[in-house]
């Protein structure tokens, strides 16, 4: 992406966890002339060089091509995690809305598209060794999140074939956390009324050790830096894994929290989650839990070598910051990220 006169970047989903980090970094980047943030509700938060537009990607009237006119790049981050009990609703926003974005990029002749894919797009894989970006991306079909992310990978395969003039980058980050996202993620996955202070280590005398529960994490700001680098790396195309070390499992978490890991069978853990989800006490579905147990660990060598990207924080540092945010009601001045301390 040429930066000789300053680049104009449009960011969808600009008020969420990733969007706020991406917008902030771009607003501080001297090579970026302007940032247009698209979100369903415009925020009070107003970084330098940034303007806002209220857009609902699930609506036919979104008129995205007009919003993208004159842009040098579009970073597509918009995503709805709920309602998990009605996947047709999330499909309209996440899949059909994303297709509208891709079509508008082509119609407006935007030369660069950076799409937020995910580790969730990967087919089940190993937990004892990392896999690179060539690992199959068919997702876990029973989980709406993975199914939607994998479907969009196939959509982009066709888009790249039909529009070779567009440089397409697919970011596949691990689970993303920061202090400011704590309240939002508590509401999305734990429920609106789950007390944040329950994250205190002294309230966890033991930690459930579920077979297969070994995942990767990354600070949202570190992921945002990879997005920024991808804009300015003209040779960057295709998929990039993003994660920090070490992988998180019961042993690492137990050491971090000072809690003793206790083995809990998968069936017992899933049954408890399924019961809470069925009673609408827990937003996170048992289908997503099934997917998490099967996600592979990712090798991030391509991002290191081709983008010059390195995470600044370890996965344990990320988790410590996030737990502090849970306890203190961490948030920001955007509707999705509003902070609230419960309990």
The tens digit of pLDDT for each residue in 34-58 reads: 999 999 999 999 999 999 999 998 8
The tens digit of pLDDT for each residue in 205-259 reads: 678 889 989 999 999 999 999 999 999 999 999 999 999 999 999 999 888 888 8
CA separation for the pair 27, 47 (Å, rounded): 6
pLDDT of residue 191: 74
CA separation for the pair 336, 184 (Å, rounded): 6
pLDDT of residue 4: 39
Delineate the domains of the chain, giving CATH numbers in brackets: 7-181+216-246+297-328 (3.40.50.720), 183-211+250-292 (no CATH)
Dihedral in degrees, nearest 10, Cα atoms 314, 329, 280, 122: -20
| φ, ψ for residue 15, nearest 5 deg | -105, 5
pTM: 0.94
CA separation for the pair 81, 257 (Å, rounded): 28
Only one residue has tokens 């047709």, namely 88
pLDDT of residue 188: 86
pLDDT of residue 281: 86
CA separation for the pair 71, 67 (Å, rounded): 9
pLDDT of residue 138: 97
| φ, ψ for residue 117, nearest 5 deg | -90, -150
CA separation for the pair 31, 6 (Å, rounded): 5
| Degrees, nearest 5: CA angle 330-333-339 | 25
State the helix-helix crossing angle for 144-162 and 97-107, rounded to 10 degrees: 20
pLDDT, the chain, mean: 92
Question: Is-contact 301 132, C-beta < 8 A?
Answer: yes
For residue 131, give Cα distances in angstroms to 141, 150, 258, 299: 20, 17, 31, 5
pLDDT of residue 260: 86
The tens digit of pLDDT for each residue in 157-187 reads: 999 999 999 999 999 999 999 999 999 998 8
Confidence band of 3 (pLDDT split at 50, 70, 90): very low
């Amino acid at each position: 992406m040429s930066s000789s006169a300053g680049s104009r970047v449009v960011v969808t989903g600009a008020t969420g966890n990733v969007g706020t980090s991406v917008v902030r970094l771009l607003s501080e980047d001297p090579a970026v002339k302007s940032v247009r943030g698209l979100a369903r509700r415009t925020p009070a938060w107003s970084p330098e060089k940034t303007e806002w537009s209220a857009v609902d990607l699930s609506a036919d009237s979104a008129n995205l091509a007009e919003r993208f006119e004159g842009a040098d790049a579009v970073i597509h981050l918009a995503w709805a995690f709920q309602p998990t009990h009605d996947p047709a609703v999330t499909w309209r926003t996440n899949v059909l809305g994303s297709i509208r974005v891709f079509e508008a990029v082509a119609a407006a002749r935007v030369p660069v598209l950076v799409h937020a894919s995910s580790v969730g797009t990967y087919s089940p894989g190993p937990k004892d060794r990392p896999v690179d970006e060539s690992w199959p991306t068919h997702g876990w079909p029973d989980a709406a999140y993975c199914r939607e992310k994998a479907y969009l990978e196939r959509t982009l395969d066709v888009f790249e074939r039909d529009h070779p003039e567009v440089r397409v980058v697919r970011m596949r980050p691990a689970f993303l956390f920061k202090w400011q996202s704590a309240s939002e993620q508590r509401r999305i996955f734990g429920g609106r009324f789950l007390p944040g202070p329950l994250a205190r280590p002294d309230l966890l005398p033991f930690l459930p050790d579920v077979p297969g529960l070994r995942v990767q994490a990354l600070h949202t700001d570190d992921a945002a830096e990879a997005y920024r680098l991808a804009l300015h790396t003209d040779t960057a195309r295709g998929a990039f894994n993003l994660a920090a070390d070490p992988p998180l499992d019961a042993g690492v978490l137990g050491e971090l929290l000072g809690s003793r890991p206790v083995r809990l069978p998968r069936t017992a853990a899933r049954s408890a989650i399924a019961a809470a989800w069925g009673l609408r006490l827990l937003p996170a579905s048992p289908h997503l839990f099934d997917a998490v147990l099967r996600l592979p660990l990712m090798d991030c060598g391509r991002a290191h070598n081709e983008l010059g990207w390195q995470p600044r924080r370890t996965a344990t540092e990320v988790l410590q910051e996030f737990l502090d945010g849970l306890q203190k009601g961490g948030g920001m001045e955007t509707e999705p990220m509003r902070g609230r301390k419960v309990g």
